[in-house]
Every structure is written in structure tokens, then in C-alpha cells.
Structure 1
Amino acid sequence: MTRPSVPAFATVPVTLIALAVAAVLTALSGRYGYHRDELYFRVAADHLAWGYTDQPPLTPLLAKISITLFGDNPMGLRVVATLSAALTVVVVALIARELAGERNAQIFAAVCTALSGFVLGTGHMVSTATFDLLAWMVIAFLALRLLRTNDPRWWIALGVTTGVALENKYLVVLPLAALLIAVLVTGPRSVLKTWHLPAGIAAAALIAAPNLIWQAANDWPQLIVAGGISEDDGTENRIMFVPLQIAQLSPFLLPVWIAGFLRLWRTPALRWSRPVALSYPILCVIVLATGGKSYYALPLLLVLVAAGTQPTLDWLHGGRQAVRRTVFAAAALLTAITSAAFTLPVLPESAVNLVLPVNAEQGEQIGWPELTRAVTTVWQQLPADDRARAVIFASNYGEAGALAKYGTDLPTAYSGHMSYADWPAPPDDHDGPVVVVTQERAPQYESHFGTCTEAARVDNGHDVDNEEQGAYVLVCTGPAKPWSQLWPDLRRYY
């Protein structure tokens, strides 16, 4: 069957929109400070490996490259995130083109992507979700190209892209599973009857093999992490799934992606793309069943947004154009304002509490120097003889990462959280006092360190209600047993 061709690509305007996104993200990349995950990636970048307790190796590797090329500061680290967001804008426009979107539809798709809170939020800082989003968009584009052309060679490109994506985050298997189910339900099943499919799977497996081998050799710690997330947050994730899907993408894009779903499902000329439409609700069912976070399904909404740009523009050219364009302009302006306020560091630190219910990650970029100063003050109050045998122990990787970055007058801070537990433990001859940083006091936890006394509380100076506000800095008498024996008991997977 002859497949439809696609319109010309709106190269110049789409590129300009992507550059505008890059400019905004660059201008704001130095505000607030590092996110707790970035502080972790920064240290992980000095311990490059084929795998980590909670993730594959790609994000720490990209962090290392960005720091090396652009500087060891938030702006330098975030260059790779900015580039990823800009490329995402371009790929979504290409998806709109693949779905028969004309020039203006492609431009509109790029604008919608540029204004999306999820894209801006993941583009602002380095996270596994940053590069996962770009990978999903490339996979969606290649899948659409495969379905539209019925050319089985696209399976190879899909396999290679999937393999690279698996070196960043395992979540990429979810949309692929959803798409496979959708193809089996709606067709065309002919795209599965080719040797290129197993060849693509083999390519993905070969690229992902180093990390998979590392995980297997270390008893699959990432599965323990995932299980802990589902157990701890599964119920809340299910309750908030739909509201956060809408809020994190942008409520004002809701009509666009609904129009996109209906267009893919109902338009005879796009019947070949129906599996892509069906894959979104299938993916939602999978995420809800496993208790995953709402953003696990968000990337596919951008595909539906790309599909919905053409019918949205057609609606704008319908009756009462002046009214419709006024509504459209107001919606675009509100989208830009709310997306920036909720995902970018544009508010004063003192106002960040307003957005934390929707995006708690804003608060996690504030207060790390203040935490370090509190620990430094306590450390310097220890007698000199005690400091020679003392250890600083942080309850989570954000605290440990902050002390590594800002604690110029401090020794190495240790932690049992995630891959920090795999890096060197304190030497056994450091049997003196332990300065413990912890979000909450827990007698069972503190019993590992003898008798503990509160020495300070953390105050970020802006009354931001983040996870470290009010954290405790304790001085404990010493490890309950040698560190080499104690260390396995201090490992935390979530």
C-alpha cells in the first residue's frame, strides 16, 4: 500500500523557537542553585561506571562532559539539559510533520512544546527524565516513520535509539510495550513480520548490555529502588495521576492533545497512526497498575499535542475568527506564565512555596549552601583531636553531594544512600565522633552512632518548605561498630 508523503519541514522558524528555548533556559540556569539530584550526579561523574544503584550510566556521563566543557557550576552542568530541551522542540515539530502537519502546524507544535511546563522543567536541570523525554520523542518519531512508510528498516533505528535510551533510564520499555500492544490490537501487524524487528531488538540489547550485566552482577539494585518507590508512593501516585498529567504538561494544552487523539483515531488518512493514539491510554493503565509517577506517561502527550496542532489551527480559521484568536492568544499567554512560574526559577525564593504543591523540585534547588554552613559550624566546634578521628555522615545523597560541593573546609562526607554506599566507606580507624545530617530524628537509625545530641538545625533562609528545611545536624559519640561492619546496615535504596 502506498503511504502518504509529508509536507516540507519548517526548518527556520522551528530552529528559531528551539534557540529561543535554549536562550531562556541558559539565562535562568544559574538562579536558585543545584537540585539535589544534580549534586548527586556531580559526584557520580567522578565515579563513572557501567551502572549505579538507581540508574544506568548515561546521565552521570553527560554531567561529566558538561562540567568538563562548560564549568563546575549550575550553568555549566545544565548546558546538556538545555540542548536536550531544544532538540525536543525540533523533534516534536518533526512528529507534527510526520502526521501531515503543514508548516504552521509544525511551528505551532514547536511553540506548544516550548511552552510546556514539563519540557521547561526537565530542560532547566539535569535529570534522567531530561534525556528520557528526548529519547521518547525520537522513538515516537521513528515509530511513526515506520508505520507511515511500512519500511521495516526503521526497526534498526528504533533498536539503536532504544539501546541508548536504556543506558539512561529503563522507563523507555513502557511506551514500547504500549505501542506493541496497540499494534497487535489495531494493526498493521504486517510491520511485525520482518527480520528487521529481531535485528532491532538485538541492537538495543547489545547497546544496553554493559549496564544490564552490571545490574545482574550487583543483584539488580534498580529493581529494589523501583519497588520502594511503588510501595512508598504508589497510592498517592495513582490518586494524583490525572491532575498532575494535566498540570505538568499545561492545562491550556488539554484541548490540543484531546484534538490530537481524536484526529489520529478518526481521520481515515491517518489510520496508520492509530496505534500511537491507543498507546497513550494503554501506557496510562500500565503506569497506574505499577504505581508509577504521573510523568512516566507524560511524553506521549506531547505526541498527541503534535497531532492536535493541525485541527487547532483549522478551528482558529473557522467562524468568529476574532473571538477564537483572542481566546487562543490568552491561552498561550497564560500557558507561558504558568509554565515559567511553576517550572523555572523566576519567582523570588521567598515565594517558591506557592508552587511546591505542583512542582516540589523547585524547592529542592534552594538551601544547600546554608545546609553546608550549618554542618561546617558544627564540625569546627569539635575539638581538634576529635576531628582527626571524626566522620561526617549524611542520610541522603543530596546532603552528601552538597557537602562535597560547598564544604571546602570539610573532609569527605559519606552516605549509605543509593550509589554513595558503593563508594568508599569511612576507614575503621575513624572511630571518633560522627556528625550526622538527617531530615528526621529516628532512635533506631541513630543507634548506629552511639549517643546523639542535636547540635544545629538547617534553615535555608527563605522559609522554603523543602525536604531539608529544619533538618538536624547531630553530634554522635561514634560508630557502634567498625565502619566496615556497620556499612551494610547503613545502605538505603530509597
Structure 2
Amino acid sequence: MVQDRQVGRVRRNKPADRAKQANDPDAPTSPEALPPLAVLPLATTTLTLTALLTALAPRYGFHRDELYFLAAGHHPAWGYDDQPPLTPLLARFSTAVFGETPAGLRVVATLAAVVIVVLATLIARELGAGGKAQTLAAVCTASSGLVLAVGHMVSTATFDLLMWLLVTWIALRLLRTRDPRCWPALGLAVGVAGQNKDLIVLLVAALLVGILTVGPRDVLRGWRPWLGALIALAIVLPNVVWQARHGWPQLTVARGISEADGTLNRTMFVPQQILFLSPLLVPVWVLGFRRLLRDPAVRWARAVAVAYAVTCAAMLAIGGKAYYALALLIVVMAAGCEPLLAWMGGHWRTRRARLVLTIGVLSATVNAVLALPLLPPRHLGIPNAVDQEQGEQVGWPALVRTVADGWAQIPADQRANAVLYAVNYGEAGALAHYGPDYGLPYPYSGHVAFYGWARPPDSATGPILLVVKESKVDRQRPYFTGCRQVGRVDNGHGVDNEEQHAVVLLCAGTAEPWSQLWPHLRKYY
């Protein structure tokens, strides 16, 4: 009640804003015409999320992508074959400060999840949500499957989700207030996002389509939008130059992923949109869409609803992954919290409120089991049926031990000319991280950025210890001679992940010198 009276005082102090909105729903409002921020509920939600993610961070082990980011962080550059530099840079920072362990690496992911929840709450507030609706937005976001997953482990999606929400929040503030001073901040956010993933271009394009379609178009007038664009371009330019100098490998990676997984991504797009947040949150999204499209009080924000539709259409057209569009769905969810609260009767003591609370607890529990390392590894078949990312955190030390046993079979006097070669970046990242503890040399690989970091010298004539997934063995035979199997990976938990039953081959040599062979071993995806 105190919070509601505070909201009332804020709104009564702005009669001019209310009059403008009544006469013209597209009229701008002053930056201060917002309900107070629900500081205590937001702090409680974020602290709970932080405690949960921190407690579970050491469980299982590194994800294959995290091992790759660790390796990339030790090879700093303005770009890599498959990504801009921000995520490897943050991985390097986190491990340098907190230790090169899963818990140390994941500190930045936990912090990112907290900021994601804060941004979702600020977005709900920007759309006029009072304290209770802001609390709903914070809790729904913090307990959603995607936020729990990206908060548990470091990935490009972790910071992509954060930056999409930041860009959208600034854009909403621009649309509501028409304050052109938002443009430099928007350009800064877009530029930083572009140093994490080029996909931010899609968000900018979708928002522009939304604004041009349903307005308010006057925010695009003047010179400040061009200033924002120049700021963004200046920040991303080093990565653009790097990509141009290296033949635009990211485009090759993206094209390959689309060709390999496009059909599956299109088929699973709608189910994963629902599953990756929670099927039980669908009614909140529906309320949010309805509000954005029909409520005169937020008519100025309709461009966001259009932007989500444009983003989904683009993802279906190019065969992109479903989670690329989920940031805007979180915005729509935040918009739905105010009408959900009204449906509940405005407080937590009604029968409808108890129903919502029960559903929320059920949703959070299911999401936690599917997204977080709560189950014993031997039971990971349950979450892996929905998403295989948890399974990719199991078995890397076992893989390296198996490889070390194979390396021990190479006579000591031949090891100076021997090569350790891993076919994919997960194997190479695991060998780079754990290998020194087992006396292994640094691995070579032709996969994504590993290809450019080092190539075996032609003087390394063999033997070659080759690590490869069981299903990919035949593809390697034309490149290596005299191969025999000396090991087979077993993660010890029966987890059916990508490296389970991978084989270790000891080969006598290569079919041709490394300098000629190396381009044929390059893998973009």
C-alpha cells in the first residue's frame, strides 16, 4: 500500500503528462514520470539468484564452449573465426581475478544474469509497471529457463541477452520521452553488443522497422541518430577490419550453421521459444502482446512488439536459433506483468494470486532442473532431452586422461616430432586446459580459431595422436597414415554427450606435409 501511494504521488505530480497522454497517446512524457523502482523486491530476487548460481557454479565442470573461450582468452585479438572478442575477453578477466576454475570463470555469467533481471525490471517500470508488477517481472525473468542457463555458464548468449535488453531499454526510454540525448547511449550499447555478437544488427533493424511501421517516427529526426550510429560503428570497427582482413570467416561459419542446422532450427523454433523461458509463462506473453498493441498508455512502445515479430521472421528465414529472439520475448513478458497483476486483483491474497504463485513455483522448479546442475550426472538424460548443454559439462578430465594414456604409448625418443591433434574445439580446449597436468603438449586443431593460432611444423613428421568423435573417424583417414585405435573415451557417468565414446588414434604420420595438409583440415563449424 505504501508503494501504491508513492506511485500515486508521482503521477499526481505530473498532471501535464497525464493530460498529454489522454489527448495524444503518442505524446512524449518527462523522464521522471515513472513509478518508483521496487528496490527491495528487486534486491531480494537478485541476491537469491546470485546465491543459487554461485552455489551451483562448481558442479559438473567446464562446458565445451567455456574451454574454447579460455583458450581464446589466451590468444587476444580483435576477432575470431566465429565471434567478436568480448566473451573471450570477459572469460580471461574472470579467471584472472577469480581463478581458472568453473566457479571462477562463471562469476561474470552470474553478474550478467543479475543485470538481466535488473534490466527486465527497468523495462517493466518504463512501461508503467508499479512496484508489484515490477516484482513479477523480476521473478519471472530470474526463474526463466534461459536466464538460469546463461547465468550458470559463460557463453556468447549470456552477454548477448544482456546487451539486447540494455539496447531495448534505452530504445524504450527514447520512444517514451523523445529525449534525443538517449541516442549516444544507444550507440554505445549497440557498439559494445557488436563486439560480442554481430546479431545486434538484427535487433537494430527490427526496431527500425517497428518504428517506421507504427511510430513514433519523430525520434529518427535530427542529427543525433547519426551520432549514435557513428559511436556504434567506431566501437565495432576494429572487429569489422579484422574480419575483412581474414576473409570474413564469421559469415562462412554462419552460413555453414544455417546449412547444417537450418531445417531443425526452423522446426524447433516455436517449441523452443516456449520451452526456453517456460510454457507456464505463455499467458504473461499473451497479455504483454495485447497490452503493447492495444493499451493507449503504452502505444508509444508498439514498435517493440513489431520488432519481435520481425526478429522471429528473420530467424525462420535464415534458420537461426530460437534463443536469438528471446530477449524481445522477455520484454513482452515484462509488459504483461501489469495486466497479470490486474487479473490477480492487485494483491497477493486472492485466489487468482495463489494460483499464479503456485504456477510460478512449479515453473521455477522445472526450469531449475532443466537448466542448472541439480541432478546427479547419471540422470542427465532428463534435461538433455530438452537441451544438451548440461551434458557438455561432463567428462572432459576423463577425455584428457584417455589421451594421456595414448600419448604414453609414443616412445620417448619420438615425442619431439610427435603432434597432438584434436578435431574439434571442445577436445582442443580440454587438452589445452587439463593437458599440462598430464604432461601433454599444447594441442593443434583446425577447428575455428584454433586453426589460426598455430600449425604443426613440417618437421613434425610423426607420430600423430589424433582425438576424434567416433562418427568422424572415416573423415580423417585420408589425411593420416598407419592409424590404430589406442583409446576410447568414457565419461564414467553414461552421459550421452558429443565426446562420449570418442576415439584416440595413434597414427604413423601424415599423408602430406603439414603446410599442404593444413588448409584441408580447417573447420568453420
TM-score band by shorter chain is over 0.9
Aligned equivalents of 1:206, 1:216: Cα separation in 2: 15
Q: 1:269 to 1:373 in 2, by over 3 A?
A: same
Partner of 1:433: 463
Q: Offset of 1:457 from its aligned partner? A: 1.2
Q: 1:485 to 1:250 in 2, by over 3 A?
A: same
Partner of 1:266: 294
* 3-state SS of 1:170 partner: coil
Select 2:500's aligned residue among 464, 469, 475.
469
What one-letter code is carried by the residue in structure 2 that aligns with 1:477?
A
Q: Offset of 1:120 from its aligned partner? A: 0.7
Aligned equivalents of 1:172, 1:20: Cα separation in 2: 30
What one-letter code is carried by the residue in structure 1 that aligns with 2:57?
S
Select 2:250's aligned residue among 222, 227, 231.
222
Select 1:481's aligned residue among 512, 516, 522.
512
2:138 is the alignment partner of 1:107: no
Aligned equivalents of 2:48, 2:200: Cα separation in 1: 28
2:225 is the alignment partner of 1:197: yes
Alignment of 1:43-58 (within 5 A): 43-58=71-86
Partner of 1:416: 446
Aligned equivalents of 1:466, 1:365: Cα separation in 2: 9
Q: 1:367 to 1:320 in 2, by over 3 A?
A: closer
Aligned equivalents of 1:171, 1:357: Cα separation in 2: 27
1:334-386 C-alpha deviation (Å, 9 max, x unpaired):
11111111110001100101111211111110010111111011111222223
Aligned equivalents of 1:254, 1:356: Cα separation in 2: 23
* 3-state SS of 1:454 partner: strand
Partner of 2:429: 401
Partner of 1:93: 121
* 3-state SS of 1:414 partner: coil
Q: 1:318 to 1:199 in 2, by over 3 A?
A: closer
Aligned equivalents of 1:240, 1:32: Cα separation in 2: 27
Partner of 1:493: 524
Aligned equivalents of 1:64, 1:443: Cα separation in 2: 36
Unmatched segments (≥5 aa) in structure 1: none
Q: Offset of 1:125 from its aligned partner? A: 0.6
Partner of 2:335: 307
Alignment of 1:97-176 (within 5 A): 97-176=125-204
Aligned equivalents of 1:3, 1:325: Cα separation in 2: 32
* 3-state SS of 1:85 partner: helix
Aligned equivalents of 1:365, 1:319: Cα separation in 2: 42
Partner of 1:324: 352
Note if contact 2:78-2:239 (Cα within 8 Å) is conserved in structure 1: yes
1:448-478 C-alpha deviation (Å, 9 max, x unpaired):
1112212111111111110001111111111
Q: Offset of 1:445 from its aligned partner? A: 2.2
Select 1:3's aligned residue among 21, 26, 29.
29
2:447 is the alignment partner of 1:392: no
Aligned equivalents of 1:317, 1:436: Cα separation in 2: 64
TM-score by length of 2: 0.92
Partner of 2:370: 342
Partner of 1:456: 487
Partner of 1:275: 303
- Runs of 4 or more, structure 1, over 6 Å off, are 318-321
Select 2:205's aligned residue among 177, 202, 208.
177
Select 1:366's aligned residue among 389, 394, 400.
394
What one-letter code is carried by the residue in structure 2 that aligns with 1:460?
N
* 3-state SS of 2:505 partner: strand
Q: 1:88 to 1:389 in 2, by over 3 A?
A: same
What one-letter code is carried by the residue in structure 2 that aligns with 1:63?
A
Note if contact 1:389-1:429 (Cα within 8 Å) is conserved in structure 2: yes
Aligned equivalents of 1:319, 1:101: Cα separation in 2: 14
Q: Which moved more, 1:313-322 or 1:111-120?
A: 313-322
What one-letter code is carried by the residue in structure 1 that aligns with 2:408?
Q
Aligned equivalents of 2:406, 2:346: Cα separation in 1: 68
* 3-state SS of 2:444 partner: strand
What one-letter code is carried by the residue in structure 2 that aligns with 1:9?
L
Aligned equivalents of 1:342, 1:50: Cα separation in 2: 35
Aligned equivalents of 1:484, 1:457: Cα separation in 2: 29
Q: Offset of 1:224 from its aligned partner? A: 0.3
Q: Offset of 1:322 from its aligned partner? A: 4.1
What one-letter code is carried by the residue in structure 2 that aligns with 1:486?
L
Aligned equivalents of 2:498, 2:271: Cα separation in 1: 23
Partner of 2:111: 83
Select 1:242's aligned residue among 247, 251, 270.
270
* 3-state SS of 2:417 partner: coil
Identity %: 54
Q: Offset of 1:390 from its aligned partner? A: 1.2
Partner of 2:63: 35
Partner of 1:295: 323
1:131-176 C-alpha deviation (Å, 9 max, x unpaired):
0111011111001000000112212111110000000001111121
Aligned equivalents of 2:36, 2:305: Cα separation in 1: 24
* 3-state SS of 1:297 partner: helix
Partner of 2:5: none
Aligned equivalents of 1:216, 1:322: Cα separation in 2: 60
Q: Which moved more, 1:438-447 or 1:284-293?
A: 438-447
Partner of 1:443: 474
Q: 1:265 to 1:429 in 2, by over 3 A?
A: same
Select 2:381's aligned residue among 353, 373, 385.
353
Q: Offset of 1:320 from its aligned partner? A: 12
Note if contact 1:81-1:122 (Cα within 8 Å) is conserved in structure 2: yes
What one-letter code is carried by the residue in structure 2 that aligns with 1:421?
Y
Note if contact 1:441-1:472 (Cα within 8 Å) is conserved in structure 2: no
Aligned equivalents of 2:166, 2:101: Cα separation in 1: 29
